[in-house]
Amino acid sequence: MENKEIELEFSIKSGSPEKQRSACVVVGVFDNRKLSGPATEIDRASDGYLAEILRGGDMDGKTGSTLLLHKVPNILADRVLLVGLGKERDFHEKAYRDAIACAVRDRKSTRLNSSH
């Protein structure tokens, strides 16, 4: 079996996540389906789309969980990746690094070449 390296462009940008034009925007969801600040901005711009998905039980925000959404209404990015952040009170530097690593692993497995 041949080991192929996948090149992944990953950048962190400030600004409104709903206005980022890219292959994928990554935002967090805390335990018990609580949206992070950037996820709330995307939810507002998409008229409650993220909240509706979470109410449906597709993701709960547990650490390490991910959910890739396509064609989120009113969002310029092709996809939105929700990354579980765990309990909000436990979310510190290590949890942030773990969330970034989880997002990178997810992007590599789906072969998207750009995430913000």
Q: Read off the pLDDT of residues 58-80 as tens digits, 9 standing for 90 and up.
A: 998 988 888 999 999 999 999 99
Give the domain 12-115 fold.
Leucine Aminopeptidase, subunit E; domain 1 (3.40.220)
Residue 48 CA, chain-centre distance (Å), reads 16
Give me the pLDDT at residue 82, please.
93
Confidence of residue 103 (pLDDT cuts 50, 70, 90): confident
Task: Decide: 27 and 116 in contact? Cβ < 8 Å.
Answer: no
Q: Which of residues 49 and 19 earns the better pLDDT score?
A: 49
Give me the pLDDT at residue 72, please.
95
User: Is this structure's pTM higher than 0.85?
Assistant: no
User: How far is residue 46's CA from residue 9's CA, in Å, rounded to a whole number?
Assistant: 26
1 pLDDT higher than 50:
no
